[in-house]
Structure 1
Amino acid sequence: MSGFGPPLAGKRILLGISGGIAAYKSAMLARLLKKAGAEVRVVMTEGAQAFITPLTLQALTGEAVRTSLLDPEAEAGMGHIELARWAELVLIAPATADLMARLAHGHADDLLTTLCLATTAECVLAPAMNQAMWAHPATRDNTRRLEGHGWRLLGPDSGDQACGDIGAGRMLEPEAIVEQLLMAPNAASDRAPEAAPPAATHEPVTGDAAGLTLTLTAGPTREALDPVRYLSNHSSGKMGYALAAAAAARGARVRLISGPVALGTPAGVERVDVTSADEMLAAVREAVADSDVFIGCAAVADYRAARPAEHKIKKTDETDTLTLELVKNPDIIATIAAETPRPFVVGFAAETRDLEAYARDKLARKNLDMIVANDVSRPGLGFGADDNAALVLWRDGLGGEGRRELPAQSKSALAEAVIDQVIARFRERASTNASVSRQDCR
């Protein structure tokens, strides 16, 4: 992980810990927040203390850990109000389904929920629960309600769970949570604790992408070899998530079809978690039915096992080699580009040589409207890095082509530049099609 910079230095962070197995990760989270220069105080629910002791968190933060709303000594000075006023950021990790439900409905039946109602600080939570609980309609409703109240959600991640299930619901790793806090637009702000949290709004969304519906894919896919092993790649999903955030901020309705990544859902984005290429294609086909633009940013595995093993493949002493039969995965972006009707289709090309030649070939061969190509062999750019550069190529609908180079910059800045090009080219294509239609009607 990259070294932590100054955005969290001196920030007063109240770390809330609720009662889930992921509470053990909160010790590392507290340590990383302290390492980043933050002041950290901890509040634990009764359930959290069944998984990790207050003494552990006290040793890591150097501050007494609060566990009870009815602590006579602390409440002699209205301790929960003092904590609520002290915090610049309230971070709850893990946030269980029960805690999220209580927060969503304004309960104040323990110290943590009470101070959340009393604080005007920025509020963030990292969900952690069984995959079925995360997918339940009640949890989805509570999530929307919390976001409407100004809460920001980080995660959850997808993968193996302590109960043995596999799916979305894992708490993000502590390193990913801190990275997300560092990337937040207001991470370095000096907002006073009296400032009000973001309020839910029902005003019309404005921006140059208002009225557009955009579907995009991000991250890797995982193709099972057996119940514990898979084929995948190094995609972090950062570029796709940055594109989703940029489009949503400019007024688009954004649907994000995501492979397994350790990233929080951008504000205002509808996220669907998938694992394999087949799952991603099915989700994309459903989403693009009423989409104006489709951006295929995911690093989809080209091949999958022809017959995934039912049980874990065992190493044997008889041979030093293992032969796997692989079959091609569906080409998601080519499939969408071949359908009629179809949205404006934008592809990505990650290459290690002959960047423009391969990108032009892919643009034509897959019948794309636009392609964003980047050289992942360049040090410090591409997979896993925070920066990237790109070459954008497009077809104008009348047989002509365009070209624009976007220099190395942060992935968030590059995402803005790419969305600039997507919106401009989409509007240009729509205008061209309308003009051709008018001529045909003469």
Structure 2
Amino acid sequence: MGKNKFLFLKILFFLMSSLISYGKNIKLDDMLKTLEEKSYEREIFDLEQKKNLSKEKYYNLDNYNGVRGEISTDYDYEEDKIKSNGRVSYGEFYLDLSKDKINSQKNSDTDVIIGVNKSLKNMFYSKSDSEIKKLEYSKKNTEYSYYDDLETKKISLINLYEEYKNNEFEIKLKTNNLTRLKSEEKILKKSYELGATPKIDLDTLQTSRNNLEIELKYLKENIKKIKNRFLYEFGIDISKDQLMDIEIPKVNISDFISNIGERKISRLGLEKEITKENIKYLKYSNKIPEVLVGVEHQERNNGYSDENRVFLKLSKDIFYYDINLENEKITLDQQEINIQKEKEINISKKLEVEENCNNLYKNYLVNKNKAELEKNKYEIINLKYKLGDVTYVDVMDVFDDYLNYQVAAEKAKNLFNGYIYEILVRGEKNYE
């Protein structure tokens, strides 16, 4: 029983150690999703939303944003009298207090007015109403701005992922071939010592082996730096993880290409709606007179009776040239032109994306075919060397081409697959 328990603990420790050492496999999709859930861009967006909520609260409070108090005191030297006036207001409600006190008298005259007044103009359409409507467009624009920033961040992540996979492939390829060269070097060295192999063959192999070791040294340093870039640039720790190959999702790429750039056009449309709202309010404000209706109750202690009254105040500017309104009208015309221009530019951008996609796929196929050809050539010349038909110098000449084309083919594949992911990110439907 004790033995079994010890064996169980040993197996459990081994499994836990394996998990700690090897981490997990991560896909490009996983990283892109992580950016959506947690990033500096997301934190900034959340804070911007809080600012918009504060603005919304402010505009909804309108005139009821706190209690306002005013007080003033004057001294009349000729009459030896102190005059004091004060007002406390909350929204449309107010309380006025005035007191006149002559220093030679004990009593003072005091008036108290309690009243309420309402602007009929603001009751139908106020500045706050207009600001709340514009805020809805601004909130949506803030959201689109976040998606723009997130898109840029995602594309940077895709490019770094490609760079990592390219370095990883090159390290694996050259490590395997370095192992094989070291084995062949032992054989060639013995052959040279026996006089069966010329020194130039051994020198050529050793130079190729030395070059591979130099390349691997710096490739491994580069991949460490790339891992740190993932951590500091994107907040993703991959120190113990394995990045999976970039695989193209099974989706209709044409649908995503058709969405590219549409969010920017939508943002321009939101800015236009804000300008239209400015024009609407300015026209209303200029056309409709200010009508103030109020009711007051006045109490006095100077021998006069209390008084109730209703009042109506009317004011209107005439022959007034509103420069703000005219500027907003011009801005609206400019925005219409910019939207039309952006629509036409966007058609060209979509065609460019399709062109890039075709070119990258063409380069991938061409490099893939070249890599297969160079691999066959290398295998053939290696066989000829073993048969004594060529020198090892000839083998190494083909060997360098074989490695270069293998790396070029892998880079072309990752570049094409990464570009497809970029299309998916740029063409994501996150606008209305």
Higher strand share: 1
Higher relative contact order (CA 8 A, sep 6+): 2
Higher helix share: 2
TM-score for both structures, normalised by structure 1? 0.18
